[in-house]
Amino acid sequence: MSETKGSLETRQGEATQKLSLPALVLNFLRIGAIGFGGGMAVIALMERDLIDKRKAMSSEEFLHGVGMAQVLGPFAPNTALFMGNRLYGLFGGLACALAFLAPSVFLVILLSWLYFSFHAIPALKNAVGGLGPVVIALILSAAWSMGRKAVRSWPTVLLGVASLAISLVKVNAVYVLVAAGLAGLLLGGKRLGGRKNESDKGAKTEEKATGSVSAFVPGLTLFPAVGGATASLSLPAIASTFLKVGCVFFGGGFVLVPILQQKLVTLLGWLTPTQFIDGVAISNLTPGPIAVLATFTGYHLHGVSGALVATLCLFAPAFVLMTVLSHEYARFKGRRHFEDFLAGVTPAVVGLVISAAVLLAPGTLRSPADWGLMVVSLLLLTRFKWHPAWVLGIGALLGTVGLV
């Protein structure tokens, strides 16, 4: 009996592999550079690269992180923060989240400079258009991978299907996840197939962070206010405005667009309606979250320094809350009610992932060539295990030459 128990613990210990912090940060930097298609597509990249391939964290814990992150707004950066925090404490969480955001912020600053200098968006739309069918395939492949691990009983199937159906009528994801968690409390984690009261053998002591957020952005105050049309607006005013928006930014994705439109266009007049629409388009040309619209606005108001301040302040409230949740996760994991709630959330996340692909499909798969690229991409990702970067590259190339 003791030998059986020992071998079981050994297998459980081998289920995850510890990546060094530099390796984890580099992985998030790469995901941030190729993560076109929005939050769920990026979650798919994380699941494939860090969970399925590198086994940096258990699939169950990853799904719990995605569920908590989605409640707090920009859920792809929040998930990066959750993973970094769970593996390497406060410093690791901030490093991973900022590494994930860095490529998109850099690209938005570059595109903003081109836009406000030449009043035109660079001709990248064809290439980005070719990514659409690949992104849908990537999301579906992630849903398949997650579903095999998370949907283990008929109640979890029903929860996943119900979450899919409800999200298809565009109910806020926060409500879906909370309702699924309450269903988990009512049904019990055991009935949902959840593993309860397992000791977290691989838990690591969190490392103390010795620096402040400014340590991750060296020389922030040295950036000149280059390109800002209204550079006389102070950085504290920009910081205060985006901090307030960040405090009410729940639900993720395009939930932020109407909030910023009302604040920046209607109330403050910092952007014209045309500039705001173009800013949304530029944000969609980048691999990061739609929230990098703050980077575009900050650049317009105060150049590069304004872009960085606006971005950091918009994300700061969610990052603080996610850091607290990540820290408390280890404390509450294993408690019955907490486990029951997360057992309901887990299949709901799978349903939300599938709904993202379904909702994107009508505007993306508009020709037989689009459908063909999606099917081939799905095969390359699931059957032949191609890295998503190569498949995305094929999509961009086909879009550039006009075949999709």
Six token digits for residue 112? 């903003």
Q: What is the spatial distance between Cα 358 and Cα 147, in angstroms, rounded to a whole number? A: 16
Summarize pLDDT for 154-201 with one digit per residue, the tens: 889 999 999 899 988 878 777 887 898 899 888 887 777 654 444 344
Q: What is the spatial distance between Cα 47 and Cα 187, in angstroms, rounded to a whole number? A: 27
Instruction: Examine the pLDDT at 13 and tell me if it is beyond 70.
Output: no
Six token digits for residue 110? 């570059």
Look at residue 4 in the predicted model and tell me its pLDDT.
41
Whole-number percent of the chain with pLDDT over 90: 26
Quick check: helix, strand or coil at residue 340? helix
Give start and end residues of each alpha helix (H) in 16-74.
21-34, 39-46, 59-71
Instruction: Examine the pLDDT at 89 and tell me if it is beyond 50.
Output: yes
Most confident of 217-231, 285-299, 357-371: 357-371
Instruction: Examine the pLDDT at 5 and tell me if it is beyond 50.
Output: no
Q: What is the mean pLDDT of the chain?
A: 78
Summarize pLDDT for 219-229 with one digit per residue, the tens: 333 334 444 44
Closest CA to 44 of 64, 66, 25: 66
Whole-number percent of the chain with pLDDT over 70: 77
DSSP at 20: P
Q: What is the spatial distance between Cα 360 and Cα 334, in angstroms, rounded to a whole number? A: 37
Summarize pLDDT for 379-395 with one digit per residue, the tens: 998 888 787 778 878 88
Instruction: Examine the pLDDT at 217 and tell me if it is beyond 50.
Output: no
**pLDDT grade for 10, boundaries at 50, 70 and 90:** very low
Average pLDDT over residues 203-230: 38
Instruction: Examine the pLDDT at 7 and tell me if it is beyond 80.
Output: no
DSSP at 208: P
Instruction: Examine the pLDDT at 25 and tell me if it is beyond 90.
Output: yes
Look at residue 24 in the predicted model and tell me its pLDDT.
95
The H or E element containing residue 138 is: helix 132-150
* Range of weakest confidence among 38-42, 52-56, 243-247: 38-42
Exposed / middle / buried, residue 158 (Cβ in 10 Å: 0-12, 13-18, 19+): middle
Six token digits for residue 118? 């030449």
Six token digits for residue 333? 């994991």
Look at residue 171 in the predicted model and tell me its pLDDT.
80
Residues in the chain: 404
Strand residues in 104-246 grouped as ranges (E): none
Instruction: Examine the pLDDT at 91 and tell me if it is beyond 50.
Output: yes
Summarize pLDDT for 42-54 with one digit per residue, the tens: 888 899 889 988 8
Quick check: helix, strand or coil at residue 94? helix
Q: Are the C-beta atoms of residues 339 and 189 closer than 8 Å to each other?
A: yes
DSSP at 267: I
Q: Where are the domains of the chain?
A: 20-196+223-400
Six token digits for residue 318? 């969610």
Look at residue 2 in the predicted model and tell me its pLDDT.
42
Look at residue 35 in the predicted model and tell me its pLDDT.
77
Whether the predicted model's global pTM rises above the 0.75 cut: no
Q: Are the C-beta atoms of residues 319 and 81 closer than 8 Å to each other?
A: yes
Closest CA to 83 of 106, 107, 103, 57: 57
Average pLDDT over residues 323-333: 83
Q: What is the spatial distance between Cα 308 and Cα 246, in angstroms, rounded to a whole number? A: 14
Quick check: helix, strand or coil at residue 385? coil
